[in-house]
Structures are given as structure tokens and as C-alpha cells.
Amino acid sequence: MADIGTQGAGSAASRQTGMTAPRAAPVSVLARSLGAKFFVLGALVFVLSMPLLAVWGLVQDREANFRHATAEIGRQWGGNQTFAGPLLEVPVTITRPPRGDQDKPTVVNRRFVLAPDSLSFDGTVGTETRKRGIHEAVVYQSALTGRAVFSPPDLTALGETDPITVDWSRARVVAGLSDLKGIESLTLKVDGREVRAIDPGLDEIYNTGFAGFGAPAGLRAPFSGEEQTLTVDLDLKLKGSQEIRFAPVGDDTTVSLTSAWPHPSFSGTFLPQARDVSDSGFKADWRVPKLARAIPHVAFAGGHTFSRYADNAFGVRFYQPIDFYKQVERAVKYGVLFVSMAFLVIFVIEVLSKGRMHLVHYAMTGMMIVVFYTMLLALAEFVGFTAAYALAAGATGTVIAGFVSSLFAGRTWTVVAFGGFVGLYGFLYVVLQLAESALLVGSVTGFVILSILMFATRDVDWSGRKGPVEEAG
């Protein structure tokens, strides 16, 4: 009875003072507006582009570490090799008549280089991988057999009108090579006679980044007869890394290479005329005729000599399929689009379920996608791109889909959340594999998705004006 009396007294007091029980504050139109939230999410995507940019910088840094490691292996084993030669280097004396106040002729000492009429190389290349830390580089050992055939030159092609005296006894066989450390053995024969006095390095007259070697040609008589030829044979065992190239110094140059490496990437100015690539290796044949490269048959030696030949070099790069940094970089470039599509999946669930997901939850979802990219990069360095993508996508996709589905009641949204993110991660992987047609597929897919959403959301209350309004009083 006391309690009832107390309650009655309280009610009476309330009526006497005119007070009412407190009510929840009405939700503003802006807070209910899906349109406003849509644009806020767009701003959030822009903010998340900053950590994505940091991830892109991380990819660049890790790739630089990889390049540095492979370059270090190359410096110790032998780097990319380009072979330019052999050429015949011959000293000449040009006698210029007196000019002006001169009373004596001027004698100028120069050299000219003669290209072979024909040049052929046949070789086999054995490959292996060397590791430095977690990084691998392809190195090779090649066995090359070459032959160059020279004929007497037409010295009028030098463009000199003054008398020229040729010293054939001091003629030398010279060749350019990128890295002399790669030479394991070299046997040089001139007209069947083995030459042992092979000197490393090229004369400073060439002023080039090429290393190389030279040896006396051993010509005891003028090299001028119409029927006369000079044949240079060489057997070269050469080490290198990543790539081997040949300069087409001959008027007619042929090269044939065989290797057990199953992933060749043919590079340079000329592609092979014939090639056979299989899982057991490759065989490739090149032929470069004189007319295919604008290089004179005979010319004065100078700084341009070997660089001119190297600019026309061709060969093969021993491509590594595990070079995944470009794939990760491409994935990060799609980062803003990927975050946008993830937010769109969640936003569609939010609209259809008539539930609500806080902006903080969207931000955490976006950061989880950033973590996906860092996991992808870290795992790819150990297990390769495909396995890394499966692990990173599986882990982050499951967490995001599970988190989203926990915020909306009903199994339907759980299925939609998991299905949406499986499709999203799967679509990104497909686009990354397409390479050449990725832009076309991405553009068409984006067009289809936006077209569907435009018509499907025509009746959505984007402004929030149709929501429940608290009654006054």
C-alpha cells in the first residue's frame, strides 16, 4: 500500500508540474541520407589512397632490393653479356700534302676496322639459379663456336682523298665484350694457326663502356688479293647472368643457340627467324643480312665503333616467371578501384537490408584491404604470386565478409557478403592475368555494374526524407 501510495504521489507530482518522460532525440534528415553517406564514402576512398600509395612505394623498394641482389650476383659471376666481334683492326698512315704556309706534308696515324663478310656462331647455354637472401637470379655458362671470314677491303670507302699506307703486319683481331670476368676459356685461330698472345681490354681510341680483347692477326703479306681471305675461328666458354646478346658485325650474321631453359624472352633489334620452345628448353636461329643494319663494312676506328654495333645487338633473356613484383605493382594500381568496389558491395547490402554500417567500420574494412596488399607482397617473395594471392585474399576476404555479415541480421546477407567478396577478389585476379586485355575487361565490367546499379536504385530514398519522423508533443 505504501508503494502504491508513493507511485500515486509521484504521478500526481508529475501532473502538477506538467513534466513528461524523456524521449529519444529525432534522427536528422542528413544522418539518414544514403546520398550523403555515399559521398562521404567517396571521400574515405580518397583518404585510403594515401596508405595505398605507401604500399606502392614499398613494392618499388622491394623490387629495387631484388634488382640490387641480382646485380650483385652478376658482378661476381658475370653480368649481362653482349659480344661484338671479331673485327679486323688495321693501322694506316695518311699523308696530307702541305697546306698554306706548311712546307712539309702532314703525316696522320689512324686505324680502320674491317667487318667480316660472314660471321656465324653456334652455341649451347646451360643455366642455373643462384640465391642471395630470398632473391634468385639466373646465371649461365655457354659454349660458343664462332667463325668470321674477311676479304680485302675497298679503302676508298673511308672517304680519304690523300694517300693511305696500310701496315698489314700490325693488323689485330679485336672483339668487344660486356664483362671479361665471364670468360672461362678462349681459343683463337687465324687461318688455322692458334694465337696465344691475346690481350685483355680495348684501346682507349674506342672510348666505350665495352671491355674486350685483341690479338695480332699475324699477316705477313699485304691483304689485298682478290681471291685472298682471312678466317678467324674462336671457341669461347662464357659465363653471364640474365641475358646473352650478339652484335651483327658481319655483312651476313647467323647465330644458333640451344638451351634447356624453358622460359626464353627473345630480345634486341632482331627476333629469331626460327625458334622451337618447349618445357624441355629452346632452340633459336637468327640471320641478319647486311641490308638489315646500317653499319659500314669498313670505317675508321673511334668511340662509336662498338656502340654502333651494340645498338643492333640481339639475343635472349632467361626470363624468370617468379618476377612477381610487376604483378603486385599492377594489383596496387587497381587499389583505389578495388576499395571502391568493396565499399560498393557493402553499401548495396546496407541499402537492401535497410541496416546501418558505421563509417568507422568502412574505414577498418578499407585498411584491411591495404593489409591485403602488404600480405600479397610479403608472401609472394616466398611462395610466388599465385599462392600468395590465394592466401592473402582468403585471409582478408574471409575476415571482411564475416565482419560485414555479422552487422546485418539474416543468413541471406552472410551469403551475399561472402559471395560478393569472392567475386571481387576473383575478378581482380583475372584482370591481373589478362595483361593486354585487362583495360578492356575492366572497363566493360565497370560499365555493366554501374548500368545495373543505376536502374536498380531508382526508387532508393537517397535524401532520407521518407524516413520516420518523430511526432511533437
What does the pLDDT read at residue 464? 63
Assess contact for 152 and 338: CB atoms under 8 A. no
Sign of torsion over alpha carbons 410, 416, 419, 421: negative
Set of cell numbers at residue 89: 683492326
Give the rounded distance of the alpha carbon of 257 from its chain centre: 25
Of the candidates 133, 138, 209, the residue with the CA atom closest to the CA atom of residue 176: 209
For residue 227, CA distances in Å to 149, 151, 166, 230, 417 come to: 12, 8, 19, 10, 84
DSSP secondary structure code for residue 153 in this structure: -
Set of cell numbers at residue 189: 685461330
Q: What is the pLDDT of residues 270-291, one digit of tens each?
A: 999 999 999 999 999 999 998 8
Q: Cell 623490387 appears where? A: 63
Backbone angles phi, psi at 216, to 5 degrees: -65, 135
Set of cell numbers at residue 213: 680483347
Neighbours of 267 (CB within 10 A): 16
Helices (H), 238-358: 305-310, 325-333, 335-353
Question: Angle, to 10 degrees, between the axis of helix 335-353 and the axis of helix 411-434?
Answer: 160
CB crowding 69-103: b at 16 or more within 10 Å, else e: bbbebbeebbbbbbbbbbbbbbbbebeeeeeeeee
User: Distance between CA atoms of 145 and 234, rounded to whole angstroms?
Assistant: 6
Q: Is the pTM of this model over 0.85?
A: no
pLDDT tens, per residue, the chain with 473 residues: 444 444 444 444 444 444 554 554 444 555 567 778 888 988 999 999 999 999 999 999 988 888 888 888 878 888 889 999 899 999 999 888 887 776 788 888 999 999 999 999 999 999 988 887 777 888 999 999 999 999 988 888 888 888 888 999 999 999 999 899 999 999 999 999 999 999 998 887 786 667 889 999 988 777 876 668 899 999 999 999 989 999 999 999 999 999 999 999 999 999 999 999 999 999 999 999 988 988 889 999 888 888 888 889 999 999 876 668 888 988 998 899 899 989 988 888 888 777 788 889 999 999 999 999 999 999 998 888 899 999 999 999 999 988 888 888 778 888 888 888 898 899 889 888 886 777 788 788 888 888 887 887 777 777 766 654 443 33
What does the pLDDT read at residue 432? 85
SS3 137: strand
User: Distance between CA atoms of 375 and 43, rounded to whole angstroms?
Assistant: 25
Set of cell numbers at residue 446: 565497370
Beta carbons within 8 Å of 9's beta carbon, 6+ residues apart:
none
